[in-house]
């Protein structure tokens, strides 16, 4: 379980560019939750994931993972139990290494790496099986350089790398946004299969409202640095894209009123 309490993030504090990117965020993520996150540009979605991953400094509040306060834990230490994917398929893989070498690196995360010994037979088998479940034929290309793969294949591989050792938390920041619609759908399905198979607690940002409602068990709607709505259960099931658009519009109005007042 991950608990976020009263989290606040301020960029460029005490300058003309000061920006409160997250304001008093309270959120409990239960084990096995698959939460989708939506909200217009600048709502604070990436900042929320970045603060959980430890890539930015928190101004106030706390982040508790399974009872342990990780608010100030270094990013590389959190990476041992948090898997991450970004929009850019080039992030997260080493282009001049082969598929199985990349998987080997991910698999040995947190351990000292034995370079020059190649991939062990036992691991080779494991990596092959892992690739097979993607259904993209990567299992026949284990010795191909990752730089030769398409964006979709590369995102699927990055997903495997992030989940080969089941993480306590998986953070996906618009990880299919750079792909064409068909490939995006394919990667989302692969994501769903992996997340459900290993019951991985997941936060997935998407700009696609339809996808946000279709995947996962809860949806956070963010605006102006706050979570303005948590959708779950029957309320979530009954929500249409139009309802969400109305929610956005109402919030935009509220936010602009607020900025007029301040
Ligand atoms: N490193 C940063 N420095 C300054 N401002 C930032 C930084 N990262 C994000 N912001 C600002 O914080 C707000 C939230 O950004 P972000 O979390 O990236 O939004 P989203 O992912 O919802 O589009 C935006 O106004 C953005 O410009
Ligand atoms: Mg973002």
Q: Which residues line ligand 1 (CB under 6 A)?
A: 11-12, 19, 21, 39, 41-47
Average of per-residue pLDDT across 20-27? 97
d(CA 177, CA 173): 9
* pLDDT number for residue 114: 56
Task: Check pLDDT > 70 for residue 262.
Answer: no
Residue 59 lies in a domain: yes
Report pLDDT digits (tens) over 136-162: 999 999 999 999 999 999 999 999 999
Residue 133 lies in a domain: no
Locate 122 and state its tokens.
């036992």
Residue 218 lies in a domain: yes
* pLDDT number for residue 134: 94
Task: Check pLDDT > 60 for residue 113.
Answer: no
Q: Is 110 left (phi over 0), alpha (psi -120 to 50) or beta?
A: left
d(CA 152, CA 85): 13
Closest listed residue to residue 82, CA positions, set 105, 65, 104, 67: 65
Site to probe by mutation for ligand 1, drawn from 8, 12, 22, 47 as the one with most ligand atoms within 8 Å of Cβ, is 47
Task: Check pLDDT > 60 for residue 105.
Answer: yes
d(CA 208, CA 217): 16
> Considering its fold, how many domains does the chain have in total?
1
**Residue 25: half-sphere exposure toward Cβ, Cα within 13 Å:** 36
Residue range of the domain that includes 204: 2-92+168-261
* pLDDT number for residue 260: 62
Q: Is 24 left (phi over 0), alpha (psi -120 to 50) or beta?
A: left
| Ligand in nearest proximity to the CA of 41 | 1
Residue 233 lies in a domain: yes
Average of per-residue pLDDT across 126-143? 95
Residue 151 lies in a domain: no
Report pLDDT digits (tens) over 168-220: 999 999 999 999 999 999 999 999 999 999 999 999 999 999 999 999 999 99
d(CA 216, CA 186): 16
Confidence of residue 122 (pLDDT cuts 50, 70, 90): confident
* pLDDT number for residue 253: 75
Residue 237 lies in a domain: yes
Q: Report the CATH number at residue 50.
A: 3.40.50.300
Residue 138 lies in a domain: no
Residue 102 lies in a domain: no
Confidence of residue 121 (pLDDT cuts 50, 70, 90): confident
* pLDDT number for residue 111: 61
The Å distance, Cα 133 to ligand 1 centre, comes to 36
Give bridge partners of residue 5 from the DSSP assignment: 62
């Amino acid at each position: 379980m991950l608990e976020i309490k009263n989290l606040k993030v301020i960029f460029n504090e005490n300058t003309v560019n000061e920006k409160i990117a997250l304001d008093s965020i309270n959120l409990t993520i239960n084990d096995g939750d698959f939460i989708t996150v939506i909200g217009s540009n600048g709502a604070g979605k990436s900042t929320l994931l970045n603060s959980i991953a430890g890539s930015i400094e928190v101004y106030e509040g706390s982040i508790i993972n399974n009872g342990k306060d990780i608010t100030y834990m270094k990013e590389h230490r959190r990476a041992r139990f948090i898997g991450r994917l970004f929009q850019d398929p080039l992030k997260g893989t080493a282009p001049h290494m082969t598929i199985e070498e990349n998987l080997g690196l991910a698999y040995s995360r947190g351990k000292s790496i034995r370079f020059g010994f190649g991939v062990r037979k036992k691991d080779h088998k494991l990596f092959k099986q892992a690739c097979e479940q993607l259904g993209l034929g990567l299992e026949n290309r284990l010795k191909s350089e990752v730089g030769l793969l398409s964006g979709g294949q590369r995102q699927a591989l990055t997903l495997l790398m992030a989940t080969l050792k089941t993480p306590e938390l998986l953070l996906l920041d618009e990880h299919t946004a750079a792909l064409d619609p068909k490939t995006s759908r394919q990667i989302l399905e692969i994501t769903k299969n992996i997340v459900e198979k290993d019951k991985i607690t997941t936060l997935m940002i998407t700009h696609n409202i339809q996808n946000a409602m279709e995947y996962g068990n809860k949806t956070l709607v963010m605006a102006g640095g706050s979570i303005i709505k948590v959708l779950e259960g029957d309320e979530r099931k009954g929500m249409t894209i139009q309802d969400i658009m109305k929610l956005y519009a109402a919030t935009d109005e509220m936010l602009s009123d607020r900025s007029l007042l301040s």
